[in-house]
Amino acid sequence: MTRVLLTGAAGFAGSHCLRHILETTDWTIVCPVTFSHRGVPQRIVSAVDPGKLHRVHVVKADLSAPVGRITAESFGEIDYIVNYASESHVDRSIVDPVGFVSNNVALILQLLEYARQARPKMFVQVSIDEVYGPAPMGYAHQEWDPVIPSNPYSASKAAQEAIAVAYWRTYGIPVVLLNAMNLIGEMQDGEKYLPLVIGRLLRGEVVPVHASPDGIVGARHYIHARNLADAIMFLLDRDVAMHNDGADRPDRFHIVGEVETDNLTLARMVADILGKPLRHELVDFHASRPGHDLRYALDGKKMAGLGWTAPVEFEESLRKTVLWTLEHPIWL
């Protein structure tokens, strides 16, 4: 029986991956958790159908500390490691950069040290578009473009990538890097942009829209967290790390939504779904939030060339997420 160690399963994106693996495989999933940071127990509970509970092993473990013998034995034999776990919000990284970055660096180091013992078939490091910094208008970053992070959060994710590459080179850990664009989906933290827009519209408040001083609105390729999980399973099924012999670096893949959407258009779409009028104001993207980038864009041709397409289209993802959140306002 295939056994995967899934970190961050109590977080927003990781819980969607947990649900996806349970629904599409017969694998056993080991979930190390502390429920600190942004981990919420309800996310794991909602992801696990009672009939599949026997396939989920929740282990209390602080992955920013060494994985001891007893914890490693609790994990059991591991075939794959999928690492979602990290502190993940720009504003918190700006308020406490030392604690924020130190935690994310310690986490990847200890997890890779564990991987040296476990020897998984693949170590998937889930990262973000922000490591490349802002994308100029009309350009989408390619895999292995220079990494130029703009804030402590994206710098910590770039550091995680660099450490993972070093362990690939030095110790032969079969690392695969994934950079995903901005995620949406059910049970997202209320501080993120989509829940923020939903909440403002429901309360009849003005929606802030980040823009440049000359009025160019920020844009993203939004993608549902289940689509990211589907892309991960697509790569695990193909054992892509096994086909990278002779390369001078690990394989890297961009997971991209199918359409670029500026944030004003997103707010209008949400308003239409809710049947609410939109009142908005353009806010200087950098003055209101130092270290913020106006536009992110990744090139997704590599994944498309392998045959992967996002199973749930953006508009459907957005509608389902908005309507679910309307029924579960506790997440706002």
Token look-up 């969607």 returns 16
SS3 6: strand
> Domains in the chain, please, with CATH?
3-183+221-255 (3.40.50.720), 189-220+260-295+313-331 (3.90.25.10)
Q: Using CA atoms in the order 196, 136, 299, 21, what is the torsion angle rounded to 10 degrees?
A: -20
pLDDT of residue 38: 64
Along the 332 residues of the chain, how does pLDDT read in single tens digits?
999 999 999 999 999 999 999 999 999 999 999 876 667 889 999 999 999 999 999 999 999 999 999 999 999 999 999 999 998 888 889 999 999 999 999 999 999 999 999 999 999 999 999 999 999 999 999 999 999 999 999 999 999 999 999 999 999 999 999 999 999 999 999 989 999 999 999 999 999 999 999 999 999 999 999 999 999 999 999 988 777 778 999 999 999 998 999 999 999 999 999 999 999 999 997 776 788 899 999 999 999 999 999 999 999 999 999 999 999 999 99
For residue 37, what pLDDT is reported?
A: 62
Which pLDDT belongs to residue 235?
A: 97
3-class secondary structure, 49: coil
In whole angstroms, how far apart are CA 289 and each of 49, 148, 250, 292, 293? 40, 18, 34, 6, 9
Distance, in Å, from the CA atom of 313 to the CA atom of 152, rounded to the nearest integer, reads: 32
